[in-house]
Amino acid sequence: MSSHGPTLPGEPDEPASASRPAAERPGTPAPVDFAVDLGSHEMLRRTHVLAALGPDWDPVAALRGEEEAYELLYSGLSAEQQRLYDELVSAGVLPRRGGGHAAA
């Protein structure tokens, strides 16, 4: 039974146009190809990032400083903290550092 009342024998429940794809229905605009090339935008974004970092930025020194910070973060752990650290390393949550133990 349709929402417009009972249907007669032999009549479809819905209009024939409703069963056709939208592109084939009368009055429906044809699909339009739409593509955006973000390559030039990405290059502009990278240029702005490098300009913001400045000419004195040293990526090797930044990475070295980050590693030193991690060594400090995991240094001087209590026995319980060391146990938890080792469990997290074993589970793959934290990367193994040094000899497999946090720096003392």
Write the pLDDT tens digit of every residue in 70-99. 888 888 899 999 999 999 999 999 887 754
Alpha carbon 45 to chain centroid, angstroms: 18
Q: Which residues of 30-50 are buried (b: 16+ CB within 10 A; e: fewer)?
A: eeeeeeeeeeeeeeeeeeeee
Write the pLDDT tens digit of every residue in 15-63. 555 566 666 677 888 888 888 888 989 999 999 999 999 999 999 999 9
Is the pLDDT assigned to residue 6 strictly greater than 70? no
Q: pTM value?
A: 0.41
